[in-house]
Chain A
């Protein structure tokens, strides 16, 4: 044809990326080569068969569906843009400034958290809960308790002779009652030792001491009678 000479070995290369001239030369070669003729025919057949997969009919009912979806999306976008305008009083900041602001906010947050952590109650108590005692109040309660306990111990020492050798069944009953009270006081003191900020336990302890005080007073009164 144009003097170009192709052989069977050129066939695949021409199939892959042949020029018009090379295709023409291959066709000329195929006229006298049965194998290449069949290969060329089969190669073209694939392209022809591919047409069977083409279905280019425009569906008029499909566009309105797409158009509706596009309009809805555009409306949503416009709505979001409207919301963004509410914050338009904020200055337009560059990415660098936004980073600086974010960093400053993080530092402030970290400092605040640290301050709160350092100034919180050492026993982990919360100011909002009245049943928990703060450290200062706790010291006052404990010192008052100690003084009260010492005073009651003096009272108990005075009543001890009658209680050790009860002359009447009433004194024997008082003795048993005081033993129960001492046992209860010991239990409450142990609990208060584990949970010193619990004001409720301190109130119960105080009630027990008061009961012990009244009982000892009654023992001493019984001696005077």
Chain B
């Protein structure tokens, strides 16, 4: 069978990539059953962090930033498309956490709750940016300016993926970014987006299927050959 690959930059990137990355399978990682000391440690650290933040200790917020600041900013940048808006969203998230920590009841983990606030803040920012754009309709700039990123991936591939992500539904984009880019587990994503784990898995599957369709170059003769 011929090359059923994606556009050329993909191939260049794939060859040098670690094989394990694509075979991340959750059941073996997170559903081992029985007491998991690492998970218990993480839970107690999460609870301690929440308690310290609730007490108003700024060092606790600094710890939260040290643990998740870069990831939060990265996620915000992938949703919002530029660093300035991403930083504003992360700062607003920290302020919202400080304002609402008294109402945090521990139904999800503190970090999951924080990311949920971040995602909502990002979409609020997106909506407000769209409204501003509608008001200033004479501004001819149609697509959000995306800033150059630090070296790390193939630029053409990255840009193609960013464009493809923009055409996904909000839910599919969120799940893809959280799972594939930020490395969260489906259980965590379910908590952040207030969906079930099964929905998170299915949404990721749909997102990747759509991305493949968008990114793959059109090839004649496919489809009929694939179905068996």
The answer to whether A44 and B23 touch across the interface, beta carbons within 8 angstroms, is yes
Contacts of A41-95 to chain B: CB distance below 8 A: 41-59, 62-63, 65-67, 69-71, 73-74
The answer to whether A39 and B4 touch across the interface, beta carbons within 8 angstroms, is yes
Of the listed stretches A18-26, A108-116, A128-136, A189-197, chain B binds: A18-26
Q: How far apart are the CA atoms of A70 and B16 in the complex, in Å?
A: 43
CB contacts (< 8 Å) of B27 on chain A: these are 19-20
A15 at interface, CB cutoff 8 A: yes
Q: Mark B202-228, 1 if CB is under 8 A from A, else 0.
A: 101100100110001000000001101
Of the residues A15, A38, A56, A66, contact of B205 by C-beta under 8 Å: A15
B116 at interface, CB cutoff 8 A: no
The answer to whether B211 and A46 touch across the interface, beta carbons within 8 angstroms, is yes
Q: How far apart are the CA atoms of A64 and B56 in the complex, in Å?
A: 16
The answer to whether A52 and B161 touch across the interface, beta carbons within 8 angstroms, is yes
Of the residues B10, B21, B149, B204, contact of A55 by C-beta under 8 Å: B149
Closest beta carbon of chain B to A20's beta carbon, Å: 4
Q: Mark A131-170, 1 if CB is under 8 A from B, else 0.
A: 0000000000000000000000000000000000000000
The answer to whether B74 and A34 touch across the interface, beta carbons within 8 angstroms, is no
The answer to whether A57 and B181 touch across the interface, beta carbons within 8 angstroms, is no
Query: Given A38-B3, A42-B6, A43-B208, A52–B180 Cβ distance below 8 Å?
Result: no
CB contacts (< 8 Å) of B216 on chain A: these are 42
The answer to whether B149 and A74 touch across the interface, beta carbons within 8 angstroms, is no
The answer to whether A53 and B177 touch across the interface, beta carbons within 8 angstroms, is yes
Contacts of A1-45 to chain B: CB distance below 8 A: 8-9, 12, 15-20, 23, 34-35, 38-39, 41-45
Q: Mark B1-31, 1 if CB is under 8 A from A, else 0.
A: 1011110001001100111011111011000
Query: Given A42-B6, A70-B94, A47–B180 Cβ distance below 8 Å?
Result: yes
Closest beta carbon of chain A to B185's beta carbon, Å: 13
Q: How far apart are the CA atoms of A49 and B3 in the complex, in Å?
A: 18
The answer to whether B154 and A69 touch across the interface, beta carbons within 8 angstroms, is no
CB contacts (< 8 Å) of A66 on chain B: these are 61, 65, 90-91, 94
User: How many chain A residues touch B (Cβ–Cβ < 8 Å)?
Assistant: 43
The answer to whether A67 and B205 touch across the interface, beta carbons within 8 angstroms, is no
Q: How far apart are the CA atoms of A35 and B204 in the complex, in Å?
A: 21
CB contacts (< 8 Å) of A38 on chain B: these are 1, 3-5
CB contacts (< 8 Å) of B73 on chain A: these are 55, 59, 62
The answer to whether A52 and B152 touch across the interface, beta carbons within 8 angstroms, is yes
Q: How far apart are the CA atoms of A211 and B149 in the complex, in Å?
A: 100
The answer to whether A17 and B198 touch across the interface, beta carbons within 8 angstroms, is yes
B95 at interface, CB cutoff 8 A: yes
Query: Given A44-B23, A59-B73, A51–B1 Cβ distance below 8 Å?
Result: no
Q: Mark B97-129, 1 if CB is under 8 A from A, else 0.
A: 011000000000000000000000000000000
CB contacts (< 8 Å) of A55 on chain B: these are 70, 73-74, 77, 149-150, 152
B130 at interface, CB cutoff 8 A: no
The answer to whether A70 and B22 touch across the interface, beta carbons within 8 angstroms, is no
CB contacts (< 8 Å) of B10 on chain A: these are 42, 45, 49
The answer to whether A46 and B212 touch across the interface, beta carbons within 8 angstroms, is yes
CB contacts (< 8 Å) of B194 on chain A: these are none
Q: How far apart are the CA atoms of A70 and B27 in the complex, in Å?
A: 39
B58 at interface, CB cutoff 8 A: yes
Of the residues A8, A42, A53, A69, contact of B94 by C-beta under 8 Å: A69
Which are the 9 A-B pairs with shortest beta-carbon distances? A52-B153, A44-B22, A38-B4, A50-B180, A34-B1, A48-B17, A16-B205, A52-B158, A20-B28
**A residues with CB within 8 A of B:** 8-9, 12, 15-20, 23, 34-35, 38-39, 41-59, 62-63, 65-67, 69-71, 73-74
